[in-house]
Amino acid sequence: TGTGEDRSVDFGSTAQGQMVRVPNVEWLNQLTRSGDVITVSFWQKLRSTGASYAFWAVTPTRERAISAHAPWSDNVIYWDTGGAGAGTRVSINSTDFETEFSWTNWNHIVLVKNEFIKQIWVNGVFRTEGDASVPLVSDIVDFGIGNHPTAAPTATSGAIKGWIDDFAIFAG
């Protein structure tokens, strides 16, 4: 990020329905069927924090198949897989980070699920880990980057207010 040839997705300064919608998600289902491990990595720079979604995968049965708030309006990073509840969520409050940390700078976020453990890494620093006993789901039907994939274009919340770059999902 930051070089002359590099381009990021600018989601704007309002939270009104902007997103990158991934139209065919069978590749993501194949990835989740291949094992209970996944890594999501991306760079993000926010104009301001709010009630927003860095990415979100939806299934017919579970609202939070794979999702993250980075952060939510309470400055907490939430990393969800397999739904919401025990064994599905790991979180950490970014106000506990070093004093020079700011969401208005470029930050590299890595979210890992490795079978029974989930981890959150920010700028190469391990931040927390927790229970991930609920396995990944493989019936994903919709996926959005920068917002919830079913958000209406006129929605007044949900989209991040800033940029995402180098978004990648890895099997492992």
What digits encode the pLDDT tens for the residues 7-16? 899 988 876 7
Q: What is the pLDDT of residues 90-135, one digit of tens each?
A: 999 999 998 889 999 999 999 999 999 999 999 999 999 999 999 9
* Biggest distance spanned by C-alpha atoms of the chain: 44
Q: How does the average pLDDT of the chain come out, rounded?
A: 89
User: How far does the chain reach from its first CA to its final CA, in angstroms?
Assistant: 24
Strand, helix or coil at 160?
coil
Q: Report the 10 Å Cβ neighbour count for 166.
A: 12
What's this model's pTM, rounded to 2 decimal places? 0.92
The answer to whether 46 touches 104, Cβ cutoff 8 Å, is yes
Residue 1 has pLDDT above 60, yes or no: no
